[in-house]
Amino acid sequence: MRRSTTLAALALTSAAVLGGALPAQAAERPTSAVPAPASASASAKGVSVKVSMDQLGAGNRIADAIRSIKTDDRGHFVREAVNKAFDAAGGRHNVMLMNLSQGYQERLHGKRLYANVQWGNIYYGLWIAESGRFTNQGDGGWINWGFKGWFDRDGGHVTFRRSW
Protein backbone atom coordinates (compact mmCIF):
# COMPACT_ATOMS: atom_id res chain seq x y z
CA MET A 1 0.00 0.00 0.00
CA ARG A 2 1.35 3.39 -0.96
CA ARG A 3 2.02 5.92 1.78
CA SER A 4 -0.59 8.43 0.52
CA THR A 5 -3.22 5.69 0.34
CA THR A 6 -2.36 4.58 3.88
CA LEU A 7 -2.62 8.15 5.19
CA ALA A 8 -5.97 8.66 3.46
CA ALA A 9 -7.28 5.40 4.92
CA LEU A 10 -6.13 6.45 8.39
CA ALA A 11 -7.81 9.86 8.03
CA LEU A 12 -11.11 8.28 6.95
CA THR A 13 -10.95 5.75 9.77
CA SER A 14 -10.20 8.48 12.32
CA ALA A 15 -13.05 10.63 11.04
CA ALA A 16 -15.47 7.70 11.25
CA VAL A 17 -14.37 6.67 14.74
CA LEU A 18 -14.19 10.17 16.17
CA GLY A 19 -17.37 11.36 14.47
CA GLY A 20 -15.57 14.08 12.52
CA ALA A 21 -16.96 15.34 9.26
CA LEU A 22 -15.03 15.11 6.05
CA PRO A 23 -14.70 18.29 4.02
CA ALA A 24 -17.53 18.82 1.59
CA GLN A 25 -15.60 18.34 -1.62
CA ALA A 26 -17.81 16.30 -2.15
CA ALA A 27 -26.30 11.99 -8.57
CA GLU A 28 -28.94 10.01 -12.58
CA ARG A 29 -32.60 10.62 -12.26
CA PRO A 30 -34.20 7.70 -10.47
CA THR A 31 -36.62 5.77 -12.58
CA SER A 32 -40.23 5.82 -11.56
CA ALA A 33 -39.98 2.17 -10.62
CA VAL A 34 -38.22 1.87 -7.29
CA PRO A 35 -36.74 -1.58 -6.64
CA ALA A 36 -38.31 -3.68 -3.93
CA PRO A 37 -36.73 -2.81 -0.58
CA ALA A 38 -34.02 -5.11 0.63
CA SER A 39 -35.07 -6.86 3.77
CA ALA A 40 -33.85 -5.09 6.86
CA SER A 41 -31.40 -7.12 8.81
CA ALA A 42 -29.44 -6.77 12.01
CA SER A 43 -26.41 -5.96 9.85
CA ALA A 44 -28.04 -3.07 7.95
CA LYS A 45 -25.66 -0.12 7.69
CA GLY A 46 -26.00 2.69 10.18
CA VAL A 47 -26.94 6.08 8.74
CA SER A 48 -26.11 9.50 10.14
CA VAL A 49 -27.17 12.83 8.68
CA LYS A 50 -25.77 16.25 9.62
CA VAL A 51 -27.64 19.18 8.08
CA SER A 52 -25.39 22.24 7.86
CA MET A 53 -27.66 24.54 5.80
CA ASP A 54 -31.46 24.48 5.75
CA GLN A 55 -33.43 27.24 4.06
CA LEU A 56 -36.41 24.93 3.50
CA GLY A 57 -37.11 24.30 7.16
CA ALA A 58 -37.31 20.62 6.26
CA GLY A 59 -33.86 19.50 7.43
CA ASN A 60 -35.08 17.42 10.37
CA ARG A 61 -37.79 15.76 8.26
CA ILE A 62 -35.28 14.95 5.50
CA ALA A 63 -32.66 13.68 7.98
CA ASP A 64 -35.23 11.45 9.73
CA ALA A 65 -36.45 10.05 6.39
CA ILE A 66 -32.89 9.16 5.32
CA ARG A 67 -32.00 7.72 8.73
CA SER A 68 -35.00 5.37 8.43
CA ILE A 69 -33.47 3.53 5.46
CA LYS A 70 -32.39 0.03 6.50
CA THR A 71 -30.41 -1.80 3.84
CA ASP A 72 -27.02 -3.36 3.20
CA ASP A 73 -27.31 -2.57 -0.53
CA ARG A 74 -25.46 0.66 -1.29
CA GLY A 75 -27.21 1.31 -4.61
CA HIS A 76 -30.59 0.79 -2.97
CA PHE A 77 -29.62 3.19 -0.19
CA VAL A 78 -28.74 5.94 -2.69
CA ARG A 79 -32.02 5.47 -4.61
CA GLU A 80 -34.07 5.54 -1.41
CA ALA A 81 -32.19 8.53 0.04
CA VAL A 82 -32.78 10.58 -3.11
CA ASN A 83 -36.48 9.66 -3.28
CA LYS A 84 -37.05 10.30 0.44
CA ALA A 85 -35.20 13.64 0.34
CA PHE A 86 -37.18 14.73 -2.74
CA ASP A 87 -40.51 13.86 -1.10
CA ALA A 88 -39.60 15.32 2.31
CA ALA A 89 -38.52 18.58 0.62
CA GLY A 90 -41.99 18.94 -0.88
CA GLY A 91 -41.30 17.58 -4.39
CA ARG A 92 -40.51 21.02 -5.81
CA HIS A 93 -36.70 21.12 -5.74
CA ASN A 94 -33.88 19.21 -7.40
CA VAL A 95 -31.98 16.70 -5.27
CA MET A 96 -28.37 15.56 -5.71
CA LEU A 97 -26.59 12.92 -3.60
CA MET A 98 -22.88 12.39 -4.34
CA ASN A 99 -20.18 10.15 -2.87
CA LEU A 100 -17.69 12.66 -1.52
CA SER A 101 -14.70 10.44 -2.27
CA GLN A 102 -15.38 10.90 -6.01
CA GLY A 103 -14.35 13.98 -7.95
CA TYR A 104 -17.13 16.40 -8.81
CA GLN A 105 -17.90 20.00 -9.68
CA GLU A 106 -20.95 21.65 -8.11
CA ARG A 107 -22.46 24.82 -9.56
CA LEU A 108 -25.96 24.74 -8.11
CA HIS A 109 -28.08 27.87 -7.75
CA GLY A 110 -30.75 28.59 -5.18
CA LYS A 111 -29.34 26.05 -2.74
CA ARG A 112 -31.93 25.31 -0.09
CA LEU A 113 -30.28 22.51 1.90
CA TYR A 114 -26.91 20.82 2.32
CA ALA A 115 -26.23 17.80 4.50
CA ASN A 116 -23.43 15.32 5.06
CA VAL A 117 -24.81 11.79 4.95
CA GLN A 118 -22.83 8.82 6.23
CA TRP A 119 -23.90 5.29 5.28
CA GLY A 120 -21.56 2.79 6.92
CA ASN A 121 -18.10 4.16 6.09
CA ILE A 122 -19.19 6.02 2.93
CA TYR A 123 -19.69 9.80 3.07
CA TYR A 124 -22.15 11.53 0.73
CA GLY A 125 -23.06 15.17 0.15
CA LEU A 126 -26.77 15.96 -0.23
CA TRP A 127 -27.78 19.14 -2.05
CA ILE A 128 -31.30 20.42 -2.60
CA ALA A 129 -31.41 23.33 -5.03
CA GLU A 130 -33.51 25.18 -7.59
CA SER A 131 -31.23 24.91 -10.63
CA GLY A 132 -27.64 24.71 -11.82
CA ARG A 133 -25.05 22.25 -13.01
CA PHE A 134 -23.38 19.27 -11.41
CA THR A 135 -20.55 17.21 -12.91
CA ASN A 136 -19.50 13.78 -11.67
CA GLN A 137 -15.79 13.39 -12.41
CA GLY A 138 -15.58 9.94 -10.81
CA ASP A 139 -17.35 6.63 -11.18
CA GLY A 140 -21.04 6.76 -12.02
CA GLY A 141 -23.66 4.28 -11.01
CA TRP A 142 -26.14 4.19 -8.18
CA ILE A 143 -23.52 3.40 -5.53
CA ASN A 144 -21.84 6.78 -6.04
CA TRP A 145 -24.55 9.20 -7.08
CA GLY A 146 -28.23 9.72 -7.56
CA PHE A 147 -30.45 12.68 -8.38
CA LYS A 148 -34.05 13.59 -8.97
CA GLY A 149 -35.89 16.61 -10.30
CA TRP A 150 -36.04 18.56 -13.55
CA PHE A 151 -32.85 18.05 -15.51
CA ASP A 152 -31.00 17.18 -18.68
CA ARG A 153 -28.14 14.72 -18.49
CA ASP A 154 -25.17 14.29 -20.78
CA GLY A 155 -22.99 11.53 -19.32
CA GLY A 156 -21.56 12.80 -16.05
CA HIS A 157 -22.97 16.31 -16.56
CA VAL A 158 -26.40 17.20 -15.17
CA THR A 159 -28.14 20.51 -15.76
CA PHE A 160 -31.04 21.16 -13.38
CA ARG A 161 -33.98 23.45 -14.18
CA ARG A 162 -36.46 25.08 -11.82
CA SER A 163 -39.73 23.23 -11.38
CA TRP A 164 -41.73 26.45 -11.74
C-alpha R_g of the chain: 15
Cβ atoms 116, 24 nearer than 8 A:
yes
pTM over 0.85: no
Phi, psi at residue 143, to the nearest 5°? Answer: -75, -20
By percentage, how much of the chain surpasses pLDDT 70? 74
Residue 40 confidence (pLDDT) above 50? no
Phi, psi at residue 81, to the nearest 5°? Answer: -60, -45
Euclidean distance between CA atoms 107 and 137, whole angstroms: 14
pLDDT band at 4 (very low <50, low <70, confident <90, very high): very low
